[in-house]
Amino acid sequence: MDTVTTPAVLILLGPPGAGKGTQARMLEERFGLIQLSTGDLLRAAVAAGTPAGLAAKTVMEAGGLVSDEIVLAILQDRMAEPDVTAGVILDGFPRTAGQAAALDALLAASGQKVTAAVSLDVDDEAMIARVAGRFTCAACGEGYHDSFKQPAVAGCCDKCGGVAFKRRADDTAETARARLDAYHAQTAPLIAHYRGMGVLRSVDAMDSIDTVASALGSIVEDVSA
């Protein structure tokens, strides 16, 4: 008897600076998973003029917040496309326990479920130092850090030779701390939700990029077995 494998649904939970984007790209390359960002999905649906996209456009043009129902409809449309047969990585959704429950119902309707919700755990003080020290080359965007990655030649970009650098206005210790506090408050119910489902996994996001990638790869292989 053949075994039917449903596409993996992986959720990455982690505060700004935890490396979700970097790790999602690596998982895409290794496993053929598709990263689905709610922001990107909304813009694509609006541009394509889908029914859900048109509904979202109306709300956004009026200055409102797009409802969970519209986001879920757009997500459902995208997950029905043929390129997601291996599975998806959800980025930015769900953000609340209510959204998580709605996502569970949407997936159940098509015989799917969240296969793993991975918490990328950070040390708050170390994360604040990591975020607050970031700067980039103004010409090519190469990333640097006051403590961890200075240009080999001071004032000169290693990648393109540019001599102008910039910092994001919100890359400050105060902003980073406020973001972390908000993240922990927002995510605590999600952690409890997915722990209750038995699909919560944790990875130390303060490890090296390759070490984190290896841990995430092991989780994907385990839940896909």
- 43, 149, 177, 179: the catalytic one is 179
Residue 187 host element (H or E): helix 173-197
- 43, 149, 167, 177: the catalytic one is 167
Is 130 catalytic? The answer is no
Which amino acid would we find at residue 220?
A: V
Which amino acid would we find at residue 135?
A: F
Is 201 catalytic? The answer is no
Is 195 catalytic? The answer is no
Structure tokens, 222:
């385990």
CA angle (39 as vertex; 91, 82 as ends), nearest 5? 70
As a whole number of angstroms, the distance between CA 91 and CA 94 comes to: 8
Is 113 catalytic? The answer is no
Is 134 catalytic? The answer is yes
As a whole number of angstroms, the distance between CA 11 and CA 54 comes to: 27
- 134, 149, 177, 195: the catalytic one is 134
- 20, 57, 78, 201: the catalytic one is 20
Which amino acid would we find at residue 129?
A: A
Residue closest to 12 by CA, chosen among 1, 23, 26, 2: 23
Q: What is the DSSP letter of 200?
A: E
Q: Give the SS3 label for residue 175.
A: helix
Catalytically annotated residues: 20, 95, 134, 167, 179
